[in-house]
């Protein structure tokens, strides 16, 4: 599933579209509009004729503010990539595998493709002084947000009766961190994924948040993490951070710090990867 760095790569890829006007919209599969309750006809009619503003992101949510000529921005095109969603930008129309929605913009074509159909598009009103889509208002700030305040998150994290990795994946506590980057941050911070948050020191909690930011900054510099063709940027290119992973997917391989074989444990419907020597449960 695309996590914060992958969504940020896509956001940056959409920057050249600022100021472009939507000429036509075609919904090919209404499953792509699961977050847009009024349906396909409403989506097509309301999006056509709007002008795209500067794309924004919070955690794994991406949105593009919309306005009509001479009017302020009131709505946004909200995007959640789900597990395999892709936004692909072309200079001309061409067929794409698993395309669900097609948007024509000033001579360019923006395609939303999604193999597993867990991703979605929606038109959502912008709310509050920060002009955030209503469906994103409950999402916490992410570690790359300039307004992110680590001490406040540390206090909330230590007050919860949960395990550390669950806390890192809780989008109401801190957003944007998914399974891959949680494992990477925990390895860097030398903390066990099942460490109870109530038993952690404030220093340890701050350390894992800092490592979360660092690992996502490195991943962003390498275009994100791609294991297959499900995640690509708007030009269809893969990211290369998978070559730099230290924990995720490396079970059975030696720890790059101590040499002990990394282990893999079942975690909900996913897995955790960690070093049993460096990341002891305390």
Neighbours of 15 (CB within 10 A): 10
| CB distance 140 to 124 below 8 Å | no
> Judging by DSSP bridges, how do beta strands 120-127 and 56-58 pair with one another?
unpaired
- 6 a catalytic residue: no
- 3 a catalytic residue: yes
- 184 a catalytic residue: no
- 30 a catalytic residue: no
| From 3, 6, 99, 211, active-site residue | 3
| CB distance 224 to 9 below 8 Å | yes
- CA 60, 272, 151 angle in degrees (round to 5)? 55
98: exposed, middle or buried (Cβ count in 10 Å: 0-12, 13-18, 19+): middle
Helix (H) or strand (E) holding 77, with range, is strand 75-80
> Measured on CA atoms in the order 176, 182, 185, 189, is the torsion positive or negative?
positive
Per-state percent for the chain, helix, strand, coil, to nearest 5 = 30, 25, 45
Greatest extent of the chain over all pairs of C-alpha atoms, in Å = 63
| From 12, 264, 270, 277, active-site residue | 270
How many Cα atoms within 13 Å fall on the side-chain side of residue 96?
26
CA dihedral 184, 182, 193, 82 (to 10 degrees): -140
Cα–Cα distance, 107 to 90 (Å, whole number): 9
| From 2, 55, 65, 143, active-site residue | 2
| From 58, 60, 207, 250, active-site residue | 60
| CB distance 31 to 87 below 8 Å | no
Cα–Cα distance, 100 to 226 (Å, whole number): 22
- Among all residues, which ones are annotated catalytic? 2-3, 60, 270
């Amino acid at each position: 599933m695309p996590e914060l760095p992958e969504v940020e790569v896509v956001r940056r890829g959409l920057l050249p579209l600022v100021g472009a006007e939507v000429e036509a919209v075609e919904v090919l599969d209404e499953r792509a509009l699961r977050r847009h309750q009024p349906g396909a006809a409403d989506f097509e009619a309301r999006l056509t004729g709007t002008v795209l503003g500067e794309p924004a992101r919070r955690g794994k949510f991406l949105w593009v503010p919309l306005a009509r000529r001479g009017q302020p921005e009131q709505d946004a095109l909200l995007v959640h990539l789900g597990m395999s969603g892709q936004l692909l930008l072309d200079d001309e129309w061409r067929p794409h595998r698993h395309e669900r929605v097609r948007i024509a913009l000033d001579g360019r074509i923006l395609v939303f493709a999604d193999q597993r159909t867990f991703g979605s598009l929606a038109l959502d009103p912008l709310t509050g002084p920060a002009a955030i889509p209503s469906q994103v208002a409950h999402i916490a700030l992410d570690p790359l947000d300039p307004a992110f305040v680590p001490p406040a998150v540390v206090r909330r994290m230590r007050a919860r009766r949960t395990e550390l990795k669950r806390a890192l994946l809780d989008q109401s506590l801190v957003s944007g961190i998914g399974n891959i980057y949680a494992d990477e941050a925990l390895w860097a911070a030398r903390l066990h994924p099942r460490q109870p948050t109530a038993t952690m020191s404030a220093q340890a909690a701050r350390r894992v948040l800092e490592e979360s930011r660092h690992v996502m900054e490195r991943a962003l510099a390498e275009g994100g993490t791609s294991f297959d063709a499900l995640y690509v940027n708007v030009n269809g290119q893969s990211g290369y951070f998978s070559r730099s992973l230290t924990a995720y997917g490396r079970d059975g391989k030696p720890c790059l710090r101590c040499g002990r074989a990394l282990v893999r444990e079942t975690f909900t419907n996913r897995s955790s990867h960690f070093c049993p020597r460096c990341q002891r449960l305390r």
